[in-house]
Amino acid sequence: MTLTTKMRRATVPAVLATGALVLAGCSGAGGGGGTGDGGDGHVELTLATVNNPQMKDMEELKGNFEESHPDITVNFVQMEENDLRDAVTKDIATGGGQYDIVTIGSYEVPIWAENQWLTDLTEPLSSDAEYDVDDLFQPVKDVVSVDDKLYAVPFYGESSMLMYNKEILDAAGITLSDHPTWDEVADAARKVNSDDVTGICLRGKPGWGELFAPLTTVVQTFGGTWFDQDWNAHVNDPEFSDAVQFYVDLVNDAGPADPVSTGFTECLNTMTQGKAAMWVDATVAAGMLEDPEASEVAGKMGYAHAPVKETEESGWLWSWNLAIPETTQNKDAAIEFVKWATSKEYQQLVGEELGWTRVPPGARQSTYEIPEYVEAAKSFAPITHDIMLAVNPTKPGLWDQSWTGIQYVTIPEFQDLGNQVSQDLSDVFAGRSKLGPVLDRGQKLAQEAGDAQ
Amino acid sequence: MTSGRRSLAISRALLWPALTVAILLTQIPLVATLYYSFQEWNLLRPGQRGFVGFDNYAKVLSDGSFLASLGNTVVVTGSAVVGATLLGLLFAVLLDRKFVGQSVARTLMITPFLVMPAAAALIWKWSILDYTYGMANWALSLVGIPPVAWNTEVPALTVIMVLIWQYTPFAMLILLAGLQSQSREVLEAASVDGAGPFRTFVSMTLPHLRQYVEITVLLATILLLQVFDPVAIMTKGTGGSKTLSYLLYERAFIGLEVGEAAAYGVMTVIVTIIVATVALRTLFKVFSAEGLMNR
**3-state SS class at B189:** helix
Q: What is the domain-level CATH number for residue A42? A: 3.40.190.10
Distance from CA of A175 to the nearest CA of B (A): 28
Asked if A169 and A249 sit in the same domain, the reply is yes
pLDDT for B27 equals 87
Question: Which residues in chain B are closer than 8 Å to A259, comparing Cβ atoms?
Answer: 149, 152
Give the three-class secondary structure for A37: strand
Give me the pLDDT at residue A21, please. 41
Same domain, A307 and A345: no
What pLDDT band is residue B289 in, cutting at 50, 70 and 90? low
Within this chain, do residues A135 and A147 fall inside the same structural domain, yes or no? Answer: yes
- Residue B135 inside a domain? The answer is yes
The reply to whether B10 falls in a domain is no
Whether A261 sits inside 8 A of B47 (CB atoms) is: no
In a domain, B265, yes or no: yes
CB-CB contact of A188 with A197 (8 Å): no
The CA-atom distances, in angstroms, between A397 and each of A315, A402, A431 are 11, 13, 29
Q: How many domains does chain A have?
A: 2
CA B127 to chain centre: 24
Contact A10 B245 (CB under 8 A): no
Closest chain A C-alpha to B31 CA, distance in angstroms: 11
Nearest to B149 among A26, A112, A258 (CB): A258
List the single residue in A18, A82, A208 with the smallest CB-CB distance to B272. Answer: A18
Report if residue A9 sits inside a domain: no
Range of the domain at B100: 38-288
CB contact, 8 Å: B56 with chain A?
A: no
Domain shared by A217 and A267, yes or no? yes
Nearest Cα residue in chain B from A431 = B153
Alpha carbon of A192 to those of A29, A256, B184: distances in Å? 46, 13, 67
For residues A78-107, one letter each, b for 16 or more C-beta atoms within 10 angstroms of the residue's C-beta and e for the rest, the string is bbeeebbbbbbbbbbbeeebbbbbbbbbbb
Contact, A223 vs A244, CB < 8 A? no
Residues in chain A within 8 Å Cβ distance of B255 = 415-416
Name residues whose C-beta falls within 8 Å of residue B48's C-beta, 6 or more positions apart in sequence: B40, B42
**B1: in domain:** no
Q: How many CB atoms lie within 10 A of CB A50?
A: 20
Supply the DSSP symbol for A210: T
Flag whether the pTM goes above 0.95. no
Best of A11, A21, A210 to disrupt the B interface by mutation (most B CBs within 10 Å)? A21
Query: If you ran DSSP here, which 8-state letter would residue B146 be given?
Result: P
Which one of A388, A421, A441 terminates a domain?
Answer: A388
Determine contact: B233 vs chain A, CB below 8 A.
no
What CATH number has the domain bearing residue B216?
1.10.3720.10
CA-to-CA distance for A243 and A239, rounded, in angstroms? 6
**Residue A393 near residue A139, CB atoms below 8 Å:** yes
- The complex's ipTM works out to 0.80
Predicted pLDDT of residue B292:
47
Question: What average pLDDT values come out for chain A (453 residues) when binned by 10 residues?
Answer: 40 40 38 45 89 87 92 91 80 83 92 90 90 91 91 93 95 93 95 93 91 95 95 95 96 93 90 94 90 89 95 93 91 93 92 88 91 89 91 92 93 91 93 93 94 88
A357, A388, A419 - which closes a domain: A388
B233-255: pLDDT as tens digits: 999 988 889 999 999 998 888 88
Cβ separation of B29 and A22 shorter than 8 Å?
Answer: yes
Q: Say yes or no: A418 and A269 in one domain.
A: yes
Residues 6+ apart with CB under 8 A from B58: none
Least CA distance to B124: which residue of chain A? A261
Q: CA-to-CA distance for B187 and B182, rounded, in angstroms?
A: 8
As a whole number of angstroms, the distance between CA A325 and CA A117 comes to: 6
Domain with A365 in it: 36-158+318-388
Q: Spell out which residues of chain A touch residue B32, defining contact as CB-CB under 8 Å.
A: 26
* A429:B152 CB<8 A: yes
Q: Which residues of chain A lie closer than 8 angstroms to B26, CB-CB?
A: 16, 19
- The full DSSP string for B217-248 is HHHHHHHHHT--HHIIIIITT-TT---HHHHH
| Distance between A408 CA and the closest CA of chain B, angstroms | 14
**What is the count of structural domains for chain B?**
1
The backbone torsions φ and ψ at residue B67, rounded to the nearest 5 degrees and listed phi first, read -65, -40
CA R_g for chain B: 24
A143 within 8 A of A404, measured Cβ to Cβ: yes
Write out pLDDT tens, residues B82-129.
999 999 999 999 998 888 888 899 889 999 999 999 999 999 999 999
